[in-house]
Amino acid sequence: MAKFKGAIVIDIEKCKGCGLCVEVCPQDVIVLGNNVNAKGYFYADIIKEDCTACENCVMVCPDTVITLYKAKLEV
């Protein structure tokens, strides 16, 4: 089975801080941060680079503010 590494980009100005992405991330890469965006929401933030590109966060985000870039790892 192929292994992937992911890079997550979150549009923090559109994020409403619902936390769904935090709940579904199996690697605990995403957290709700301590800062607020221009609309006053605590937005999701990436805290480590262990993303396996599972796409859970992208699929669950109701506002489609998460973009995932994936790269296949050579094994």
pLDDT at 1: 67
Query: All domains of the chain, ordered by start, with CATH?
Result: 4-72 (3.30.70.20)
Q: Is the pLDDT of residue 15 over 80?
A: yes
Looking up tokens 């503010």, which residue turns up? 65
* DSSP helix/strand/coil, 22: helix
Name the average pLDDT for the chain: 95
- Mean pLDDT within 30-43: 97
Is residue 19 a contact partner of residue 61, using CB atoms and an 8 Å limit? no
Q: Tokens for 25? A: 């991330």
Rounded Cα distance, 31 and 25, in Å:
9
